[in-house]
Every structure is written in structure tokens, then in C-alpha cells.
């Protein structure tokens, strides 16, 4: 996780000797963290695959109950936010702080829109009685299992999105005040954001498109 700096620009936080060393440590820390995350989601995908092989009909039926339109819209929104995030990183390297602020704001806006839309979809599932354990009104236990995976995976993803939105918001406020203490933080947060987007690019076909 990137630690947001508490020192003045140009002065590395202890125990680092230089800003460059600190930046490379944070970048590496994020990559290592993402490696760990990959195994977390990977294990999820594995379990998903095992049960999809066991109950292909329930899985196909489950995906039918997801709104393809919403899923596609979510994907589009997220891809767009990845673009704005990438541009924000590029702008921070060019020290174009106005652009950085605007692009981060756009990323946050798209992220919030994603979460909102996702929860709207959850609300639709609730109305249709597809929420396992809390409000599940259908007889097929395997369909129940599909929705267990659906909710666990999308909620875990949404949790990651929320953390990302929080990080962007902090950086955005700093950039707006021209007091961005740690340029590497934009880059590492960008890395994280792209990873979370990438996870969705797997979730989208697995949860919305399976037949």
C-alpha cells in the first residue's frame, strides 16, 4: 500500500536516503501487493471455475439474470476511468498540476458512478430475490451458489474500487492545493487502479457473458 508522505517535497521519509529510492520502494511495494492480490482473485476464479464445471446450467441461468446492459456499461465506465488515470499519471510526470487535478477528479467521478451503478444492480437483484442468505426466493440451490460467487466477487471488487477512490481523492485534494508531496504516489495509485480494472475485465465475461 502506498504510504502517503508526511515529509516536505524533496525530502524522503526515513529510512530512505533519497526521493528516488523512496519512489522505487513504493512502486515495488505496490507490485508486490498486486502479486498477492492476483493470488487472492486467482483463488476466487479457481473456485468459480470448479463449480461452473459442476453446475454449468445454473451458471448459464445465473448470468441470464444479470443485466447485460448494465454490465457492459460498467465495463465501459471502468475502461474510461483507466484512461483518465493513465493520463493523470502522465500529467503528474509532466508536473501539469491543473491537468492532474482534473483527471483525478474525472477518475473519481467515474469510479463513484461505477459503484453507484453496481449498487443499483444489486438493488435489482434484491427485488428479484437473488441475494443469497438474505433474500433468495428461488428453489435452485446451484443458482444460489452462482449468486454467492457473484456477490462475493463483485463486492470484493467494489471494496477495492472504494479504496482506490479514497486514494485518488486524497491525491486529488493534494494536487489541487499544489501540495502533492509524493509524485510516486500518483503512479502507484494508478498501478492499483489499473489492476482493479483488470480484475473487472475478467469478472465481466465470467459473470455476465457465460452461456
Chain residues binding another protein by CB under 8 A are 1, 3, 14-16, 21, 24-25, 28-29, 32-33, 35-37, 39-40, 42-44, 46-47, 50-51, 54-55, 132-133, 141-142, 144-145, 148, 152
Least distance in angstroms from the C-beta of 162 to another protein: 17
Q: Which is nearer to another protein, 27 or 176 (CB)?
A: 27
The nearer residue to another protein, 108 or 206, going by C-beta atoms, is 206
| Cell numbers given for 22 | 523512496
Cβ proximity to another protein: between 83 and 156 the closer is 156
Residue 66 DSSP code? S
> What secondary structure, in 3-state letters, does 130-172 show?
EECCCEECCCCHHHHHHHHHHHHHHHHHHHHHHHHHHHHHHHH
Residue 132's contacts (CB-CB under 8 Å, 6 or more residues apart) are 144, 145, 147, 148, 151
- Minimum Å gap between C-beta 17 and another protein is 8
Cα dihedral 99→104→110→116 (10° resolution) = -150
In whole angstroms, how close is the CB of 90 to another protein at the nearest point?
24
CB of 15 to another protein, least distance (A): 4
Q: What is the dihedral of CA 118, 78, 3, 25, to 10 degrees?
A: 140
Burial class (CB in 10 A: 0-12, 13-18, 19+), 139: exposed
Least CB distance to another protein at residue 38 (A): 8
151/200 with CB nearer another protein: 151
User: CA 114, CA 92: separation in Å to the nearest integer?
Assistant: 24
C-beta of 16 vs 97, nearer to another protein = 16
Amino acid at each position: 500500500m502506498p504510504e502517503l508522505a508526511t515529509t516536505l517535497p524533496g525530502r524522503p521519509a526515513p529510512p530512505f536516503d533519497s526521493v528516488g529510492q523512496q519512489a522505487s520502494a513504493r512502486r515495488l511495494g505496490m507490485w508486490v501487493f498486486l502479486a498477492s492480490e492476483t493470488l487472492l482473485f486467482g483463488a476466487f476464479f479457481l473456485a468459480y471455475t470448479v463449480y461452473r464445471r459442476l453446475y454449468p446450467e445454473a451458471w448459464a441461468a445465473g448470468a441470464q439474470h444479470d443485466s447485460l446492459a448494465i454490465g457492459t456499461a460498467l465495463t465501459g465506465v471502468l475502461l474510461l476511468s483507466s484512461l483518465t488515470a493513465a493520463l493523470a499519471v502522465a500529467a503528474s510526470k509532466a508536473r501539469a498540476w491543473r491537468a492532474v487535478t482534473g483527471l483525478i477528479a474525472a477518475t473519481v467521478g467515474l469510479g463513484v458512478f461505477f459503484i453507484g451503478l453496481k449498487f443499483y444492480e444489486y438493488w435489482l437483484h434484491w427485488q428479484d430475490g437473488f441475494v443469497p442468505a438474505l433474500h433468495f426466493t428461488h428453489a435452485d440451490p446451484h443458482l444460489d451458489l452462482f449468486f454467492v460467487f457473484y456477490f462475493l466477487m463483485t463486492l470484493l471488487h467494489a471494496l477495492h474500487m472504494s479504496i482506490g477512490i479514497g486514494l485518488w481523492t486524497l491525491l486529488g485534494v493534494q494536487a489541487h492545493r499544489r501540495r502533492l508531496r509524493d509524485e510516486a504516489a500518483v503512479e502507484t495509485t494508478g498501478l492499483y487502479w489499473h489492476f482493479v480494472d483488470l480484475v473487472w475485465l475478467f469478472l465481466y465475461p465470467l459473470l455476465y457473458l457465460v452461456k
